Chain A
Amino acid sequence: MLHTSRRRWLTGAAAIAIGAVVLTACASQREEGGATDDGGDVDSTFIFGASGDIAGLDPAMANDGETFRVSRQIFEGLVGVEPGTADPAPGLAESWEQSEDGLTYTFQLKEGVTFHDGTDFNAEAVCFNFDRMNNFTGLAATESLSYYWGKLMRGYAETGTSIYGGCEAPSETEAVITLTQPFAGFIPALSLPSFAIQSPAALEEFNADEVGGTAEAPVLSEYAQGHPVGTGPFTFDEWSPGESVTLSAYEDYWGEQGQVQEVIFQVIGDTTARRQALESGSIDGYDLVAPADLGALEDAGFNLVNRDPFNILYLAMNQTVPALADIRVRQAITQAIDREQLVTQVLPEGTEVASQFMPPAVIGWNEDVTTYEYDPEAAKALLAEAGYNESNPLTLQFNYPVNVSRPYMPNPEQIYTNLASQLEAVGIVLTPVGEDWNPTYLDRIQGGADHGIHLLGWTGDYNDPDNFVGTFFATPGNEWGFTNEELTSALTDARGLATAEDQEAAYLEVNEQIAQFIPGVPLAHPVPTLAFAERVTSYPASPVQDEVYNMVELSE
């Protein structure tokens, strides 16, 4: 009996072994055969590892990075971005003029452009799109959907607060947009995918404005689920929710078509899983490489591409904490931090030290702004002056997020450790509170007053100072816990300016005002890094992520 069972066991083991060998052989065979699928020298399919699924295919009703990444391939706006910078450049509008009063913009449109459905791009299509967004109602008119229209145009036709005055089409190639109040950031804001021009025919045919279901349970429109039509270099093929989005090159594209014939965005939520997908060759590249992975990826021959930083990482101080309401304490914290050390020790190479709450490329960045040099002795003296010493040390909660990587904050845990040791060196006692990023951490920072000093930041959407300092300080909130009417009114006034020149002067002043008030410590402008397979020889990295894949170059 034993003899028989041993024989059977051996037979079973042999069968498993043979199975494994066959499987392996087949797997490697597939790999060899699958390298080129169109018979040419270059595999023209570009696969990008996306960190999340898209929110929908209608960019007017989206505001997140992953949706915009896909939108930028399908759609174009009137205004684009100068490659490699955050500055506005001609897009579907070849040029534009602003009226004397700053309220009317006349756009000269590009000729011979067609939408993917074959209809013509013209001034009427432009007006159709702007009128459509202004006329959003119900759920379509909320921040969770049309965030940018609501925020930048300050409302909708139905709310009566919109600064959009209307749009006219005197000819096929001329569109005139009128605002009811000056808005200097209007032109740069138009480079956002939310303001892209979509095919009116398709929007109507697939009921793009019908955010279905009930108010409590909105459902994406048919258009946003599977029929996006723009003028960009790629047309939409398929969206497998949670899995991938596939696009293919648009044959009649007006511009340079490029090498890439098919784009696939594959959803891989986990950061480590994205790195492994690149290493195993199943994707061509991914975004937001963790700083800890940079060295290993570079050594293994992957191409690392840096974006010019268009962001700010800061340490905020909550002034509802009595100690932090004292400006001497805030200055002491500022002088206790050696930002150079932080940048060289824990942030990726190429990161710049920040002097104010916006990067240098933004209008109104103040070269001569007041800075507080690293001086631990001065910090101790200031703390002593404020009544804190060894027997009565300053005790603060230090909030930071864990298990997250943001473009401006690639490694919050390490940033926290570095800063904490510097602050402790001047005698501050810290209570660390590390929490999951979203929504736990964000809710603690923004939802109430129970926090002390904390890490946060921002990546600019477009080149407008209001998009940085306005976002942080224009309205008093839980994050900073202060009311500074002088600063609030300066920011509100600056928001109503009509031209970039006027903005420049106003924001130089605002930045100095902020520096004097010390609401927090601007720390750094960290460099976001993308990683690519060796065959990706060129990638159009953009500080505002205006990256369109017809400009990607592949070598094999």
Chain B
Amino acid sequence: MLRTIGHRLLLLIPTLLGLSILLFLWVRALPGGPAVALLGERATPEAVAEINRQYGFDQPLFVQYFTWLGQLLSGDFGTSLQTRQPVIEEFLRRLPATLELSFLAIILAVGIGIPLGYLAARRHGRASDHILVGASLLGITIPVFFLAFMLKWVFAVQLGWLPSEGRQDPRMDATHYTGFYVLDGLLTGEWDAAWDAFLHLILPAVALASIPLAIIVRITRASVLEVQNSDYVRTGMAKGVSRSTIRSRFILRNAMLPVITTIGLQVGLLISGAVLTETVFAYPGIGSFLARAIFTRDYPVLQGFIIFIAIGYALINLAVDVSYSFIDPRVRVS
């Protein structure tokens, strides 16, 4: 298995190399450039030329690409043109925020999605099944930014139950060690801060969870339906195997394989949802920073962040593949 994992990791190299070329070209193809973005209304041709010269944007594209690649290989991801901080630091500073949010979103999606999907399958063809299928269709089709906006309008602006933006009340004098605000509050015993950070997570997490939740419901339902009609389940029942064993070991465990794959894919896709959700909730994570970088043509941030995200995505999928062998002994990673 270790050999396979090693092989998969090696495959990452050509993948990332290909991505780096596409990414580099896409970023350069965006109209306008960072110099105009930095200077705004008062950009004079001389000032633009000067900035392009300083940053090397006046060089031929292939020279810029290989310069960047060279830096990348030596572990230098460049510096944000907007914040003038190293890209790697900007990424690491915002990573805990997005992980915390994604973690809660995926807990919601899995924790609610699997039981609901299972329930729909067990009640196949009845009203509750139809309602769940309909609701999940709505969950998939409703645009994330719209849902985020509505959640905020109802629960933050109109009802005032939950905070409307940010990660923590700025008046809170909280200590931060790890950058995971809820965890920090728990570690330092600042319960107030932990609770406040948690409240700030709820609305964006619900918005972010909507699509994965709906997809998990549908996949679980389909998968359970397929498995529960299979021969071995019938045989098990005929042999008098207890219902709970049939449910947990015969049906659920076998039905989980496609669900796990879906969860893996959805975790990777969370980041695209985070770009929109974080922007609506002014949540200072990777997504909102990436959105801003697109508007300001912050080339190093766009290139660096997307490479990091791609690596993360590849690793998550590798982890999903490896996890198959634990869930289904028939599958051996080879």
A and B found bound together: yes
A-side residues, CB < 8 A to B, are 1, 5, 9, 12, 23-24, 26-28, 30-31, 34, 37, 45, 47, 53, 55-56, 64, 139, 142-144, 147, 213, 215-220, 240-244, 246, 262, 264, 266-270, 272-273, 276-277, 279-282, 435-436, 438-440, 442-444, 446-447, 456-458, 471, 475, 477-478
- A56/B84 in contact, CB under 8 A: yes
- Residues of chain B in range 77-134 having any CB-CB distance to chain A below 8 Å: 78-79, 82-86, 90, 93-94, 115, 119, 122-123
Most chain B beta-carbon contacts within 10 A, residue among A9, A30, A216:
A216
Return the 3 tightest CB-CB contacts between A and B, nearest first.
Answer: A439-B32, A443-B32, A217-B79
Q: List 7 A-B contacts (CB under 8 A).
A: A34-B169, A241-B90, A243-B284, A267-B282, A439-B36, A442-B36, A443-B31
Q: Besides A143-B50, A242-B94, A442-B43, 18 other CB < 8 A contacts?
A: A1-B243, A26-B199, A30-B195, A34-B169, A56-B84, A144-B35, A213-B86, A216-B55, A241-B83, A246-B170, A269-B292, A273-B165, A277-B164, A280-B157, A439-B37, A439-B296, A442-B40, A444-B32
Set B54, B93, B163: member contacting A241, Cβ < 8 A: B93
A45–B169 CA distance with the chains assembled, in angstroms:
12
Chain A hits for B115, CB < 8 A? 12
Chain A hits for B32, CB < 8 A? 438-440, 442-444, 447
Chain B hits for A215, CB < 8 A? 54
A438–B279 CA distance with the chains assembled, in angstroms:
18
- A440/B31 in contact, CB under 8 A: yes
- A5/B166 in contact, CB under 8 A: no
Asked whether A144 and B44 contact (CB < 8 A) given A213-B79, A276-B157, the answer is no
Chain B hits for A28, CB < 8 A? 160-161
Chain A hits for B78, CB < 8 A? 216-217
Asked whether A270 and B279 contact (CB < 8 A) given A26-B195, A241-B93, the answer is yes
**Is B152's beta carbon under 8 Å from chain A?**
yes
Chain A hits for B40, CB < 8 A? 64, 438, 442
Set A55, A266, A478: member contacting B45, Cβ < 8 A: A478
Set A64, A143, A282, A457: member contacting B47, Cβ < 8 A: A143
1/0 per residue, CB under 8 A from A, across B51-71: the answer is 100111000000000000000
1/0 per residue, CB under 8 A from A, across B300-321: the answer is 1000000000000000000000
- Tell me, rounded to whole Å, the shortest Cβ–Cβ distance linking B110 to chain A: 15
Asked whether A436 and B295 contact (CB < 8 A) given A27-B162, A267-B284, the answer is yes
- A144/B39 in contact, CB under 8 A: yes
Chain A hits for B36, CB < 8 A? 438-439, 442-443, 446-447
CB-CB nearest in chain B for A27: B161
1/0 per residue, CB under 8 A from A, across B132-174: the answer is 0000000000000000010011001100111111110111000
1/0 per residue, CB under 8 A from A, across B244-288: the answer is 000000000000000000000000000000000001111010001
**Is B41's beta carbon under 8 Å from chain A?**
yes
A446–B152 CA distance with the chains assembled, in angstroms:
39
**Is B196's beta carbon under 8 Å from chain A?**
yes
- Tell me, rounded to whole Å, the shortest Cβ–Cβ distance linking A283 to chain B: 9
**Interface residues on chain B, number (Cβ under 8 Å):** 70
**Is B297's beta carbon under 8 Å from chain A?**
yes
- A280/B51 in contact, CB under 8 A: no
**For the complex, would chain B's binding face be called helix, strand, loop or mixed by DSSP majority?**
helix
- Tell me, rounded to whole Å, the shortest Cβ–Cβ distance linking B220 to chain A: 15
Chain A hits for B199, CB < 8 A? 23, 26-27, 30
- B288/A269 in contact, CB under 8 A: yes
Set A12, A144, A270, A272: member contacting B51, Cβ < 8 A: A144
How many contacts between A and B, using CB within 8 angstroms?
179
Most chain A beta-carbon contacts within 10 A, residue among B34, B51, B54:
B54
Most chain A beta-carbon contacts within 10 A, residue among B43, B84, B284:
B84
Asked whether A143 and B51 contact (CB < 8 A) given A243-B284, A280-B160, A439-B33, the answer is yes
A217–B79 CA distance with the chains assembled, in angstroms:
5
- Tell me, rounded to whole Å, the shortest Cβ–Cβ distance linking B200 to chain A: 10
Chain B hits for A217, CB < 8 A? 76, 78-79, 86, 300
- B156/A280 in contact, CB under 8 A: yes
Chain B hits for A139, CB < 8 A? 54
CB-CB nearest in chain A for B297: A439
Chain A hits for B161, CB < 8 A? 23-24, 27-28
CB-CB nearest in chain B for A145: B84
- Tell me, rounded to whole Å, the shortest Cβ–Cβ distance linking A554 to chain B: 14
Set A56, A219, A272, A446: member contacting B79, Cβ < 8 A: A219
A407–B297 CA distance with the chains assembled, in angstroms:
23
Set A1, A26, A458: member contacting B41, Cβ < 8 A: A458
**Is B24's beta carbon under 8 Å from chain A?**
no
A31–B155 CA distance with the chains assembled, in angstroms:
14
Chain B hits for A213, CB < 8 A? 79, 86
- A30/B282 in contact, CB under 8 A: no
- Tell me, rounded to whole Å, the shortest Cβ–Cβ distance linking A138 to chain B: 9
- B164/A282 in contact, CB under 8 A: yes
- B170/A442 in contact, CB under 8 A: no
CB-CB nearest in chain B for A37: B171
Chain B hits for A45, CB < 8 A? 171
A440–B324 CA distance with the chains assembled, in angstroms:
47
A456–B43 CA distance with the chains assembled, in angstroms:
13
**Is B38's beta carbon under 8 Å from chain A?**
yes
CB-CB nearest in chain B for A403: B295
Chain B hits for A444, CB < 8 A? 31-32
- Tell me, rounded to whole Å, the shortest Cβ–Cβ distance linking A408 to chain B: 9
Set A5, A147, A272, A477: member contacting B119, Cβ < 8 A: A5
A276–B295 CA distance with the chains assembled, in angstroms:
22
- B56/A438 in contact, CB under 8 A: no
**Is B48's beta carbon under 8 Å from chain A?**
yes
- Tell me, rounded to whole Å, the shortest Cβ–Cβ distance linking B277 to chain A: 12
- B282/A273 in contact, CB under 8 A: yes
A436–B168 CA distance with the chains assembled, in angstroms:
31
A435–B119 CA distance with the chains assembled, in angstroms:
49
**Is B289's beta carbon under 8 Å from chain A?**
yes
CB-CB nearest in chain A for B38: A144
A435–B295 CA distance with the chains assembled, in angstroms:
12
- A243/B167 in contact, CB under 8 A: yes
- A446/B43 in contact, CB under 8 A: yes
Chain A hits for B297, CB < 8 A? 439
A348–B122 CA distance with the chains assembled, in angstroms:
60
- Tell me, rounded to whole Å, the shortest Cβ–Cβ distance linking A296 to chain B: 12
**Is B42's beta carbon under 8 Å from chain A?**
yes
- Tell me, rounded to whole Å, the shortest Cβ–Cβ distance linking A242 to chain B: 4
